[in-house]
Amino acid sequence: MRRSKLEMYIDILKVLAHRGPLKLTHIMYKANVNCSVLKEYLDFLIKQGLIEERTIGKNRTVYANTQKGITVLKYFRELSTALPLVEEKGKIQNFPY
């Protein structure tokens, strides 16, 4: 099943929260996102202030969650526990109604 943009953003934030600052390729493999799409999503997350780009050494670039990104991830976890999703025959439905 295909992930929505929101799910992919959250997956990237989760990977960075659990693994710490990571290089582009490590995020790509751990979040299961192709490189061109990942660059687009990282740019979006940077513009929103959810992650930051850091340069380590002369030319090593890593990405890390900001405090705002950690807060958004926390709120998303709370929301997903408050509104559990039930998967039924390939369709996701919110219950109870």
Residue 81 has pLDDT above 50, yes or no: yes
Reported confidence tier of residue 94, pLDDT bands at 50, 70, 90:
low
pLDDT at 3: 85
| 85: number of Cβ within 10 Å | 10
For the chain, the first-to-last Cα distance in angstroms comes to 24
Q: Compute the distance between CA of residue 63 and CA of residue 13 in angstroms, rounded to an integer.
A: 10
Domains and their CATH numbers in the chain: 5-94 (1.10.10.10)
- Residue-wise pLDDT for 18-76, tens only, equals 998 999 999 999 999 999 999 999 999 999 999 999 998 888 999 999 999 999 999 99
Residue 95 has pLDDT above 50, yes or no: no
Residue 90 and residue 2 in contact, taking contact as beta carbons nearer than 8 Å: no
SS3 82: helix
Which of 73, 75, 93, 72 is closest to 84 using CA atoms? Answer: 93
